[in-house]
Structure 1
Amino acid sequence: MKIRAAVLQTIGAERPYTDTRPLSIETLDLEPPGDREVLVQIKAAGLCHSDLSVIDGNRPRPVPMALGHEAAGVVKTVGAGVHDLAPGDHVVTVFVPSCGHCAPCAEGRPALCEPAAVANNAGTLIEGGYRLHRSDGTPINHHLGVSAFADHAVVSRDSLVKIDKSLPFEHAALFGCAVLTGVGAAINSANIRPGQTVAVIGLGGVGLNSVLGALVAGASEVIAVDLDDGKLATAKALGASVGFNPSDPDCKDQIRALTGGGVDCAIEMAGSEKALELAYQITRRGGMTVTGGLAHPDRKVSIQQVSLVAEERTLKGSYVGSCVPVRDVARYVSLFRQGRLPVDKLLSDTLTLDQINEGFERLADGKAIRQVILFDSK
């Protein structure tokens, strides 16, 4: 079938993206779903820093690539071997499919699925190969097994979580990445306990979800840290206790003084080595520093090694919020319905597919939290 999709031909385009237009809207050929694959009509897709990191080269991926990984849609057809989804079901995409058989999957850590990591880096589906081509036969790489900036996508069954049909698509899309990653970092990776003090550094869509996750976990104080005063105001409106701008040279000392030596847990979501170093510096003795920000592979972090031992510190990575998607999407949607996880307040704007370059320029400029592309409702 013919579809419209946003394709990245080369990485590292100069800004502003409104002028250089790194993403072109193309008509592509989409093959029908193979074994354990599903054709999904995409209804809403969020613009995420993980997409931006491919555009600007911080997360190198093979091109040409159809971008997009955070989405919600409707099942149209299913391939052989898919028995638990049917046409008409509503689904959320997850950008790390789980094979269910490798060592991490067997340990209950599907975010670290080994075949999924190989496929995602190669630009293929986990079942292997490509389902997207140009009319001349040129294969188009899949972004994280999803390629959601398109009106339709063929994805692995293991990249989908079924959701209730009453959940609006523009809200549902956020649960596939921003909510899983941000809330999961607080609840699963950091295991925040009631009464603990928490700082979140980097207040994009994922970081603000970490703020919400810390609050729902029962943190007594949530400190927001970002270079943008507007995002600090948003965090405080969501329930953060106080905000700090790290451009202030006294930021670290002020946070340590406020918390009596540092927070119990600092969560870094900026994707910057300086942000991670700050997060580590404001973590108390015996505390935990969690990082979910994706920096360029060449970036290095400098920390005081002896403090890991003498202060019994923990420095921990968090990928996809250490989530089990089939479990956690339902849990987080339930919290959303209860009003305890107001992720809808993070929706900055809705766009059309043709406005995607303008949307990424706003994201790169720090002027948006979560923008969502809405597709034809038919």
Structure 2
Amino acid sequence: MKAAVLRDDQERFSVEEVAVDGVGAHELLIQTAAAGLCHSDLYHLRGVFDIPRPTILGHESAGVVLEVGSEVEGFAVGDHVITCLATFCGRCERCLSGRSYLCAGTHSQRAPGARPRLHQDDAEIHQFLNVSSFAEQLLVHESAAVRITKDMPLDLAALIGCGVTTGLGAVFNKAQVRPGETVAVIGCGGIGLSAIQAARISGAGRIIAVDRQPDKFDVATKVGATDVVDASRYDAAEAIRELTGGGVDHCIEAVGAPATATAALESLAVGGTATIVGLMPSGKTFPVQGRLLLDDRRLQGAYMGAQNFRVAMPRHVELFLSGQLLLEEMVSSRIGLDGIDDAFDAMEAGRAVRDLVIF
């Protein structure tokens, strides 16, 4: 199969032929239909996080099942599926306490010494986040996939594999926005736009979109924002407080930077909640003014929507099919494997919302 391989000391991809191993007892072989480009992929591409190389990045994808392992239950050849990095064992304390999205997921990897899932002439190509989506085929553990209705377009389904589920879940499950409440979302990428939509679906009375790229405000308004703040011209927290007469009930941070995390907390009204969703590089910290917490403000994190993806993703599909969730509006471009580098350059410059690799 063809795949976009990231090699040592490189920040550009090489499209190469990669071999896929035989399907294990608890594995699925999937023909990739589409894969989304996520900002966390960019961090790994640029070396912000250290990962084994050579590797195939990508973790947001959808496709069609080609082969099913001998002990797999609940999947059949021809099923349409979405993949997810948040594999779950169903046996550990986190899984059994209802937080399967925090499962360590070691069960989903092949045992040490076993043949790698991906290789070239017996040299391992490392699998990224249990998925490695930038490839024509995916060989994954069964717990990395969820079956969806064939009514759902597979290219748009890929978006649900990470960004959409993360943004929706941050609002539905962690912030638990109620009708009439005010919400600010900092960052209008795939996660932020999904959070805006979740706030709209939840009945928020006012939804403020914040970004440094004004070009994104048209999309933000289409999917539900009632107000916008250009953070390249104004102090975000101050502008939010001024717009609302004191602050918002909820602020969703979808950038992953110390400055935006600080702004999220400082934009809150008394009793408000800041939910940090953006992936922040290791070692980065941000100041918290203690007096803000004394007024019953709350600071919390949210990972992968804070819900088991096998429960959440089919519901998100239904939201799309019913017209409540808008996905096509979030797509910046559809590209082939050879367009990935240019697409990541656009993402780094802040020009892209969500690019899709189509296979």
Using structure 1 for the length normalisation, give the TM-score: 0.91
The reply on whether 1:6 has 2:1 as its aligned counterpart is: no
Per-residue CA distance 1:71-90 (angstroms, 9 max, x = gap): 11010111121021011111
| Equivalent pair of 1:132/1:139 in contact (CA under 8 Å) | yes
The reply on whether 1:145 has 2:130 as its aligned counterpart is: yes
Q: After the TM superposition, which residues 1-378 of structure 1 pair with which residues of structure 2 at under 5 Å, given as runs? A: 3-10=1-8, 13=11, 22-114=12-104, 116=105, 125-128=108-111, 130-135=116-121, 137-308=122-293, 310-375=294-359
**For the residues of structure 2 that align with 1:28 and 1:331, how far apart are their CA atoms?**
34
Counterpart of 2:2, as a letter, is R
| Equivalent pair of 2:236/2:263 in contact (CA under 8 Å) | no
Counterpart of 2:174, as a letter, is S
Counterpart of 2:313, as a letter, is V
| Equivalent pair of 1:40/1:75 in contact (CA under 8 Å) | yes
SS at match of 2:286: coil
**For the residues of structure 1 that align with 2:237 and 2:10, how far apart are their CA atoms?**
33
| Equivalent pair of 1:40/1:74 in contact (CA under 8 Å) | yes
Counterpart of 2:81, as a letter, is V
Structure 2: runs of 5+ lacking an equivalent = none
| Offset of residue 166 of structure 1 | 1.9
- Corresponding residue pairs, total: 356
Structure 1: runs of 5+ lacking an equivalent = 14-21, 120-124
**For the residues of structure 2 that align with 1:254 and 1:12, how far apart are their CA atoms?**
40
| Equivalent pair of 1:58/1:295 in contact (CA under 8 Å) | no
Counterpart of 1:203, as a letter, is C
Per-residue CA distance 1:140-191 (angstroms, 9 max, x = gap): 1111100111111110100000011121111111111111111111111111
Per-residue CA distance 1:49-102 (angstroms, 9 max, x = gap): 111110012232221111111111010111121021011111000111111111
Counterpart of 2:6, as a letter, is L
Q: Percent identity at matched positions? A: 39
| Equivalent pair of 1:54/1:60 in contact (CA under 8 Å) | yes
| Offset of residue 259 of structure 1 | 1.4
Using structure 2 for the length normalisation, give the TM-score: 0.96
Per-residue CA distance 1:182-224 (angstroms, 9 max, x = gap): 1111111111111110000011111111111111111110000
**For the residues of structure 2 that align with 1:219 and 1:126, how far apart are their CA atoms?**
41
| Equivalent pair of 1:39/1:76 in contact (CA under 8 Å) | yes
SS at match of 1:345: helix
SS at match of 1:286: strand
Per-residue CA distance 1:109-164 (angstroms, 9 max, x = gap): 111002x2x58xxxxx43445311111x2111111100111111110100000011
Aligned alpha-carbon RMSD (Å): 1.4
SS at match of 1:177: helix
**For the residues of structure 1 that align with 2:235 and 2:38, how far apart are their CA atoms?**
31
